Structure 1
Amino acid sequence: MFTKNKITGSALLILMIALAGTGCQKEERPALGDYPKDSNPPGGPLKFYAAYENTSVDSIRANFGSETNTTFTQGITGMAIQGGANGYVVYPSANDFKKSTSMTVAFWLKKNGPNPAGGGTSFVFGLSTTKDIWTRMDMFLEFEDAGNPSSADLASAKFYLRDQWFEFTGAKRIPNILNNQWHHIAFSFDASTSMLTTYVDGAELTGLPAGFGKFNNDGGKPDFSQSAGIVVGGPGHFAVGKTPDGWMGNFGGAIDQFRLYGVALSAAEVKSLFDSKK
């Protein structure tokens, strides 16, 4: 037979267990995954996606970036990452993008003119490499600040792909993308044709010389197998523990909806990204 004291002790024990369970629930961290995602099956075409909704996480693999001197600002959709003269985000990898041959890199940017004098060339992003080449990168986009300088209405840009330069300089400068407004940029490379197509605000960039986008290195199919981390807002050196060359500056503007695909997006697919502000 239970005594009164035993009953009281049992009730107290049950109460303590219940309170302990409640306390544990309050201390649990929020579940991972509370960030924007695209519909993309495992191993699907979208290899890397950072929406910058008050976090630098890449949604594809919950791959958190390491932020240096950056903040968040109003983006084309929700929030965006805001860089500066010393601001950039480093990711340890671009997931399995390194297996790609065809590819697309797409993002939104907003910048008010080129970097100020002495600020260096503006690197929007840099895909670093473990291979010992002087650029330390397999792919990047930068805006020139000297020689063929950029301006608010004409951007002198260079897209670099596996040691081949596609130069939007002189008469090929890109109009009105550094005018402090949001603009969508996409570079789509099709390994079956070895051709790079450039899109600005959802439309293919025209007025380029015939054969401008022909990629002649790596047998016409870029080899990303030795790619390492990726830097958004600066040169890829930061991802491999190296110091950028003196002329290499950080972007200093805002970037939103940064995507890497392992396929060449079509013109219609790029336009859809632009129209939906993705």
Structure 2
Amino acid sequence: MKKNKYIFLFASVLVSSFFVSCNEDSIDTVNSPIAYEAIGGYESSDEIAAGNLITKFSFENTISDSKNGITGGVGTNVTYGNGIKGLAYKGSASSFIAYSTVPSVLVDVKSISVSMWINTNPHTGGAQSLYTLPKTSDFWGNIFTLVEGTGPAATMLLKNHIQKDVTPSIAWSGQFMEHSGDNLLKNMYGTWKHLVWTYNGASSTYSMYIDGKKLVLPASLSKRYASDPLTGGLGYGTLANSNVSKFIIGGFQQHLGAPWNAPDGWMLNYTGMMDEFRIYNAALSDNEVVALYKLEKDNR
């Protein structure tokens, strides 16, 4: 009996030591930082094509470009709301931001990727401009994205625009990539959606991504030409902006005043929300777009 007592006492000491050791390990585990799992080989969204990221607006109670490229911003009726990462730009029928200085790296962009999160609702009566790289000598401007008014189906008719002004001039210098008909964007309203479009000057190819997924586009939309391909037109090639002046978020270049005329009645300010607006001077790869979507969604 005495022997059994010693065995029991020894076993109790071992068990107690085990639990103390486990508790200490648990405390160390709780206090130690847990490393994030890399996504696509990246730890944060800013690591993706870092050398090509030329503009970034996060709208954390500021209208400033964190890359300090686009500067001199003046906001009109700008407010903020909860975004996909922190705060976000909150548009209205009278809101926009005008920037007076545009960096040469944006003016001289040859290929491009534009990335942003938007959260908006259907509208009627005209087109809303998300952003514009203006052109003093032209009605439309250089590079911009428009959302047209929609009908009961609540599909989004989105238009992207690019420019190629060269000497000698080409027939199709300014081009709209229009998501209409079978290419209307579905399920885009009432929630945060990640939107990326790219243009690759080397291949004259346009691509669109929604929530990291590359859309299947017909060649008539994805392949861009300098003139009619049915009559021997060549690929559109690299971009060439001209007469660039200022930059605008949430409006058309006509909202800036001179040298443009007043906005037409159909030219509407963007009334939705926008977050993590980025411009790259390269066409992001499929994997880079997926990683960007996942990392920003993960608040990284």
TM class, shorter-chain normalised? 0.7 to 0.9
CA distance in 1, matches of 2:59, 2:283: 24
Q: CA deviation at 1:239?
A: 4.4
The answer to whether structure 1 residue 274 and structure 2 residue 293 are counterparts is: yes
Q: CA deviation at 1:266?
A: 0.6
TM-score between the two structures when normalised by the length of structure 1: 0.76
The answer to whether structure 1 residue 254 and structure 2 residue 263 are counterparts is: no
Judged with a 3 Å threshold, the aligned counterparts in structure 2 of structure 1 residues 94 and 200 are, in CA distance, closer, same or farther, namely farther
Q: CA deviation at 1:221?
A: 1.6
Runs of 4+ in 1 over 4 A off after TM superposition: 39-42
CA distance in 2, matches of 1:212, 1:250: 26
Q: CA deviation at 1:140?
A: 1.3
Instruction: Confirm or deny: 8 A CA contact 2:48 2:288 kept in the other structure.
Output: no
The answer to whether structure 1 residue 78 and structure 2 residue 86 are counterparts is: yes
Aligned to 2:139: 134
CA distance in 2, matches of 1:92, 1:45: 22
Q: Which runs of 5+ in 1 are unaligned?
A: 1-36
CA distance in 1, matches of 2:147, 2:151: 7
- Percent identity over the alignment is 29
The answer to whether structure 1 residue 223 and structure 2 residue 223 are counterparts is: no
Describe the superposition over 1:91-142 as per-residue Cα deviations: whole angstroms up to 9, x where unpaired.
223422112101111111000222xx44x31111111113x1221x111111
TM-score between the two structures when normalised by the length of structure 2: 0.71
Q: When the two structures are aligned, how many residues end up with a matched partner?
A: 231
Aligned to 1:191: 201
CA distance in 2, matches of 1:191, 1:113: 33
Describe the superposition over 1:228-276 as per-residue Cα deviations: whole angstroms up to 9, x where unpaired.
2221111133346332222111110101111111111111111111101
Instruction: Confirm or deny: 8 A CA contact 2:57 2:64 kept in the other structure.
Output: yes
CA distance in 1, matches of 2:242, 2:160: 19
Q: CA deviation at 1:39?
A: 5.4
Instruction: Confirm or deny: 8 A CA contact 1:98 1:226 kept in the other structure.
Output: no
CA distance in 2, matches of 1:171, 1:134: 28
The answer to whether structure 1 residue 205 and structure 2 residue 215 are counterparts is: yes
CA distance in 2, matches of 1:204, 1:88: 29
Letter in 1 for 2:86: G
CA distance in 2, matches of 1:216, 1:196: 11
Aligned to 1:25: none
Letter in 1 for 2:190: N
CA distance in 2, matches of 1:122, 1:92: 21
Aligned to 2:175: 164
Q: Which of 68, 71, 76 is equivalent to 1:61?
A: 68
Aligned to 2:116: 107
Aligned to 1:50: 57
In terms of Rg, which structure is larger?
2
Aligned to 1:235: 252
Instruction: Confirm or deny: 8 A CA contact 1:186 1:200 kept in the other structure.
Output: yes
CA distance in 1, matches of 2:291, 2:102: 23
Aligned to 1:121: 127
CA distance in 2, matches of 1:41, 1:204: 18
CA distance in 2, matches of 1:171, 1:40: 32
Structural RMSD (CA) = 2.3
Aligned to 1:3: none
Letter in 1 for 2:238: K
Judged with a 3 Å threshold, the aligned counterparts in structure 2 of structure 1 residues 225 and 41 are, in CA distance, closer, same or farther, namely farther
Judged with a 3 Å threshold, the aligned counterparts in structure 2 of structure 1 residues 197 and 144 are, in CA distance, closer, same or farther, namely same
Letter in 2 for 1:80: A
CA distance in 2, matches of 1:110, 1:250: 14
CA distance in 2, matches of 1:152, 1:86: 26
Instruction: Confirm or deny: 8 A CA contact 2:178 2:221 kept in the other structure.
Output: no
Judged with a 3 Å threshold, the aligned counterparts in structure 2 of structure 1 residues 222 and 232 are, in CA distance, closer, same or farther, namely same
Judged with a 3 Å threshold, the aligned counterparts in structure 2 of structure 1 residues 75 and 151 are, in CA distance, closer, same or farther, namely farther
Letter in 2 for 1:230: F
Q: Which of 84, 100, 125 is equivalent to 1:92?
A: 100
Judged with a 3 Å threshold, the aligned counterparts in structure 2 of structure 1 residues 223 and 60 are, in CA distance, closer, same or farther, namely same
Instruction: Confirm or deny: 8 A CA contact 2:74 2:98 kept in the other structure.
Output: yes
Q: Which runs of 5+ in 2 are unaligned?
A: 1-44, 164-173, 227-234
